[in-house]
Amino acid sequence: MVSAGTVHPDKASVADSFSRAASTYDLHARHHEVIASILAGLFAGLPQPGKILEIGCGTGIMTGKILRAFPGIAVHALDISPGMIEACRSKFRGNRALSVMPGDAEEYLEKSPGYDMVVSSCSFQWLHDTGKIARRVANSLVSGGSVVLAVPVEGTLFELAESFRTGAGRIICSLEMDTGETWMKRFVEAGFDVVEAFTRKVTVSFPDPIDVLKSVRGIGASLGREGSGIGPHEVAAMRRYYRNVFSSPRGGGVDSSYRVFFISCITGRNR
């Protein structure tokens, strides 16, 4: 999973990869379902919005929770991937409150002010200029507008990374990500007042380490350039280590975890 802490693929490649995964995304996005549910719990502490922007809507896992939390409120759901856009549109066809739009989030935020709330679940790690994104979000919001964000951080897919590193002698740099503290600093420096912020480990179990790999690829992510040269012997070594060290305490499989930073905040000082 290429992240904010690494060299980014070009945006066309990202869009293409997620388009190809659109039909399988929901089958593999088990972490993302849990993350979206936790994120939706942060809505309760924020002002009622009149217009909402969702960045990186994907197939609509978070979109559905937004629509249920704010029935009848206008929601603009943005994604860079044509395949994901079509999947989201199909899922909510007929919902007049929702507009699903193609677009590059970093460009869109520069020219689209007037939102009361910006929501994003597990998409900011794909952005190129993460250092400026909090200020761009602030510019898209009305005074007193809010942000509700979940982003994977350092330690995500630790079991997979450690199994490749120790078990197979391969360092997967693309699993290196920013910390929650880094994300918090960006929003505070952009003038936001933090309502709630925490980092949580989200763990799900899979039958086998190979299924963990399949889930990463099934949502359109990858192990980056380092993952392209991994051979079957290294995968086998990774698998042995993973099964020995990270077997699920619930039995019958292995654990895979995301570390996720959650934050809700409101535009405040320096506005």
Q: Is the pLDDT of residue 190 over 90?
A: yes
Q: Is the pLDDT of residue 108 over 80?
A: yes
The candidate with the shortest Cα–Cα distance to 198, out of 224, 180, 217, is: 180
- Residue 111 included in any domain: yes
Query: What is the residue-wise DSSP string for 35-56?
Result: HHHHHHGGGGGSPPPSEEEEE-
Residues 157 and 257: beta-carbon distance below 8 Å: yes
What pLDDT, on the 0 to 100 scale, is given for residue 173? 61
- Residue 224 included in any domain: no
- Residue 1 included in any domain: no
What pLDDT, on the 0 to 100 scale, is given for residue 8? 56
User: In sequence order, what are the beta bridge partners of 54?
Assistant: 77, 119
- Residue 171 included in any domain: no
Tell me the whole-structure pTM to 2 decimals.
0.90
25 against 232, higher pLDDT: 232
Helix (H) or strand (E) holding 237: helix 232-245
- Residue 4 included in any domain: no
Q: Is the pLDDT of residue 46 over 60?
A: yes
Query: What is the residue-wise DSSP string for 210-225?
Result: HHHHHHHHHTT---HH
Structural domain span for residue 136: 11-156+176-203+257-267
- pLDDT tens profile 215-259: 988 887 766 554 556 789 999 999 999 999 999 887 779 999 999
- pLDDT tens profile 150-162: 999 999 999 999 9
167-187: average pLDDT: 86
What pLDDT, on the 0 to 100 scale, is given for residue 7? 43
Average pLDDT, the chain: 88
Helix (H) or strand (E) holding 20: helix 11-21
Helix (H) or strand (E) holding 106: helix 105-111
CATH number at 38 reads 3.40.50.150
- Residue 130 included in any domain: yes
Q: Is the pLDDT of residue 128 over 90?
A: no
**Total number of domains constituting the chain:** 1
- Residue 168 included in any domain: no
Tokens coding 57: 């809507």
- Residue 236 included in any domain: no
Tokens coding 258: 């995301």
Of all residues in the chain, the percent with pLDDT exceeding 90 is: 69
What pLDDT, on the 0 to 100 scale, is given for residue 27? 83
pLDDT grade for 181, boundaries at 50, 70 and 90: very high
